[in-house]
A and B are shown apart, each in its own frame.
Chain A
C-alpha cells in the first residue's frame, strides 16, 4: 500500500471510535488537577520565592561609576553611541537590520524619535537652574559648527581615558581645550547624581509617564546594565535571553531561539536578530503545520512510543 493511501486510511479510521467507553468525571478531573497545581505552585513559591533585583537608576550609576556615565553622555552628544546610530524606530542615523532585500526596520520608519544629543544631554542641561555659566556654555555648544563640536567632544572623550574620581564622586580630567564641555559635563554629572536626569528623561508632553524608552536606552548605551547582567549570566553569549537573575529557570522555552545566537553565522552577523527571527519563523510555521508535513507527520507511526501510551488498549485486543 502506498504511503499516501495508508495515511488516508489511518486518517479515516481515526475519525470515530466504535469500541468501548468507560465512565469519566470531567469536572472532578479538572478540580483535582487544579488542586494539585495550586499545591505545587504554593510549595514552589514558599520554597524558592521569585527574583526581584532592584532596577538600576541613572542616579545610582552616575554615583557608582561617574567616568562611565560621563563617557556615555559624551557619546550621546557626539553621536557615537549605539542609540545615536541605531536607525529606525529611533532615528534615521542607521539603516537597521535587513535580510536579503527586506528592510522591515527601515520600512516601518521612525516611530519613537530620539535625538541623543538634544534629548539626553542638551535639553536636560537647559532645564538646570542656579548655575550662571551653564546657559552660556550650552548656547556656545549649540551655536558652534559641527567641526568645532567634534573637536571639543573628541578632546573631552580622550581625556576621560585619564579621568580620576575625585571627592564627592566628581571626576577630574587633565586640562585641555574642551570648550563649553568643561562646564556642561560636570553640570550633567552633578544633575544625574542628584537624581534629576532620571526624571528629566521621563518627562514628555504630559504629567503621567509610562514610557521608559529614553532612560533605558541611555543606560543601555553605558556599562551599568551590561556589567550587572554579566555577573548574573544574562549576556547574549551566556544564553542570557532565556535566563533571569538568580538561579531561576527563566524563559527556558526560548532555548531554541537563544541557541541560534550562540553559533555562526548568527553570532557574528550584524543582522543576527532578523536572521534568527527568520529561521524561527520558518520553524514556527513548520511546528503549527506538523500535521500537513510529510515525513514529520509520519514519524509518530514509526516511533513505537505510541505502543507504550496505548499499551492497555493493545493488551485488550
Chain B
C-alpha cells in the first residue's frame, strides 16, 4: 500500500478539503485579518503600502465607470471628463505612493527572513502597471493617443512584440487596458498582500554591538512559517 493512501475505512480527502486545509494552514483567518501588529511598525513609511492599495481601488472604480459608459463618453460630457480626471490623478497618485513604498521597502531590506517572494511580486506588479498605463494612454482617442502610439510602436516592433501588441490598434489596446493587464496587476497585488499577511512585516536590523535583551512578547508564540 502506498504511504499516501487514506486509512482503511476513511473517506478519501476531496480536492476541495485539501485546498481549504492548505489555505487555512498557510494563512489562518486571524493572520489574514490580524488585529495586532509588531511594535516596531511605527513610522509614516508604512502608510504608503496601504495608500498604494487605496489608489488602485480608486483607479479600478473610476475605470469601471468610464468602461460602463464607453470609451467615447468622457470626450463630450462634463461628468465623463471629471471621471477621466479622477482616473488620471489616481494613476499618478498610485505611482507616486508606490515608488515611495518601494524605496521604503528597499531601505528596510524588506526581503530578509524569507520575504524574497514578497519583494518580487511587488516589483513585478509595479512593472506590469507600466504597460497597463501605456495602453490607457493610447486608448484615449485624442492627440496624446495618436502621438504616443505612433512613437512607442517602434520599441514594440523592434522587440518583435508588435505582431500581437499593436499600439495603433485601438480595439486591441482597449482590451489590454480594461481587462488583461488590470487582471495581471490585481492578481500580483493580491499575491503580494497575501505574502505580506503570511510572513508579516520585516523586523528591524539588529544594531551593531552586543545584542540587547529581547523585548518580551505580549502574545503566545506563533509558528515559524516564514520560508520562501
Q: Mark A44-88, 1 if CB is under 8 A from B, else 0.
A: 111011111111100000000000000000000000000000101
B33 engages A27 (CB within 8 Å): yes
Any B CB within 8 A of the CB of A109: yes
B89 engages A105 (CB within 8 Å): no
* B interface residues, how many (CB within 8 angstroms): 104
Contact partners of A112 in chain B: CB under 8 A: 162-163, 166
Interface of A (DSSP majority class): helix
Report A's interface with B, CB cutoff 8 A. 10-27, 29-30, 33-34, 36-38, 40-42, 44-46, 48-56, 86, 88-89, 96-97, 104-105, 107-109, 111-112, 210-213, 216-217, 219-220, 225, 228-229, 232, 234, 236, 240-241, 244-245, 248-249, 251-254, 271, 273-274, 276-277, 284, 287-292, 297, 300-301, 303, 305-306, 309-314, 316-317
Contact partners of B95 in chain A: CB under 8 A: 252-253
User: Closest Cβ of chain A: how far from B59's Cβ, in Å?
Assistant: 9
A53 engages B160 (CB within 8 Å): no
Q: How far is the CA of A86 from the CA of B157 in the complex (A)?
A: 10
Q: Can you list 8 A-B contacts (CB < 8 A)?
A: A24-B36, A29-B50, A41-B55, A53-B142, A211-B172, A225-B147, A240-B151, A277-B159
Report B's interface with A, CB cutoff 8 A. 33-43, 45, 47, 50-51, 53-55, 57-58, 62, 74-75, 81-82, 84-90, 92-93, 95, 99, 104, 106-109, 111-116, 119-120, 123-124, 127, 130, 133-134, 137, 140-152, 154-155, 157-164, 166, 168-172, 174, 200, 202-207, 212, 214-219, 221-222, 224, 226
Specify the chain B residue showing the minimal Cβ separation from A289.
Answer: B120
Q: How far is the CA of A46 from the CA of B88 in the complex (A)?
A: 12
User: Which among A22, A290, A309 is the interface contact of B37 at CB below 8 angstroms?
Assistant: A22
Contact partners of A228 in chain B: CB under 8 A: 143, 147
A52 engages B160 (CB within 8 Å): no
- Cβ-closest 3 pairs across A and B: A210-B171, A14-B113, A45-B85
Contact partners of A44 in chain B: CB under 8 A: 85, 89, 92-93
User: Closest Cβ of chain A: how far from B77's Cβ, in Å?
Assistant: 12
User: Closest Cβ of chain B: how far from A227's Cβ, in Å?
Assistant: 11
B217 engages A19 (CB within 8 Å): yes
Contact partners of B226 in chain A: CB under 8 A: 15-16
